[in-house]
Amino acid sequence: MDDWSAEQYLKFEDERTRASRDLLAQVPLSAPRKAVDIGCGPGNSTELLVDRWPGAEIIGIDTSADMLRRARERLPEQTFIEANVAHWVPPGDTDLLFANAIFQWVPDHLRQLQRLLDTLSSGGVLAVQMPDNLDEPNHVMMREVAHSGPWRETLVGAARAKDRLLRPGGYYDALRPLCRRIEIWHTIYNHVLAEAAAIVEWVKGTGLRPFLDPLEPAERKEFLREYTARIAAAYPLQADGKVLLRFPRFFLVAIK
């Protein structure tokens, strides 16, 4: 895929950061020495860690040069590293691995979660949030448009369905032997957005990227036209003219 766009992602910064706040609220650490924000993006989640633990060393890692640029502008005193979590090894004195909305993109993410949890010392915490929304209309329609248009062959394999989340019990059974306590829960957010087109703008910054990036400009325009029409039909207007984006998210906090 093309590089991520921090500008596009930050169009919905408040809504995207809510899950980070909720995840962080369940981290039972009072004074970690070092915390790593895995998939730190433009630094909005990293900033939460800095605010909670101003005395800790906070590190952000990401694969996107544009996201890291924005993160460094936002938090110039923090350390940000370009790294792929699939090949990255945490420093030995890390007390918190914080990962908001990243592992759904990582192949064989359960094995990676096991590996990372295993690196933590006693008392360390692995805190993870992943969108669990592939069956929501906005994602179903991405796949439908991809399969029904002239770009069908180009977009074979674009869908993230192969990396679906496990059932909660799958994570529990895989991670529980590696830690003394694990908490797992789901939260369903209903984000109030101005109109159906805003849903399209939202996913253009994340889930829609694998469908749009391989297309030529004219194809992208046509794909978006068809996708937007389907979104408008699937998300009815509320009484005040706005729409609700239903967004289920999966949370996991493992204490070593």
- Among residues 213, 221, 145, 193, the alpha carbon closest in space to that of 3 is found at 213
Q: What is the token pair recorded at 169?
A: 């019990």
Using pLDDT thresholds of 50, 70 and 90, give the confidence band for residue 160.
low
Angle between helices 137-148 and 196-204 (to 10 degrees): 80
Residue 113, amino acid: L
| Tens-place pLDDT, residues 52-99 | 999 999 999 999 998 899 999 999 999 999 999 999 999 999 999 999
DSSP string, 81-136: EE--GGG----TT--EEEEES-GGGSTTHHHHHHHHHHHSPTT-EEEEEEE--TTS
pLDDT of residue 127: 98
Q: Which residue has the higher pLDDT, 256 or 11?
A: 256
Report whether pLDDT(162) > 50. no
CA distance 66 to 49: 21
Q: With H, G, I as helix, E, B as strand and everything else as coil, classify residue 150.
A: coil
CB of 95 closer than 8 Å to CB of 35: yes
Question: Tell me, what DSSP letter sits at residue 78?
Answer: S
| Tens-place pLDDT, residues 8-65 | 655 677 888 899 999 999 999 999 999 999 999 999 999 999 999 999 999 999 999 9
CB of 103 closer than 8 Å to CB of 23: no
Percent of the chain with pLDDT over 70: 94
CA distance 211 to 157: 9
CB of 209 closer than 8 Å to CB of 146: no
DSSP string, 163-185: GPPPPHHHHHHHHGGG-SEEEEE
| Tens-place pLDDT, residues 219-242 | 999 999 999 999 999 999 999 999
Report whether pLDDT(111) > 70. yes
Buried b (16+ CB within 10 A) or exposed e, 233-244: eebeeeeeeebe
Q: With H, G, I as helix, E, B as strand and everything else as coil, classify residue 80.
A: strand
Report whether pLDDT(169) > 60. yes
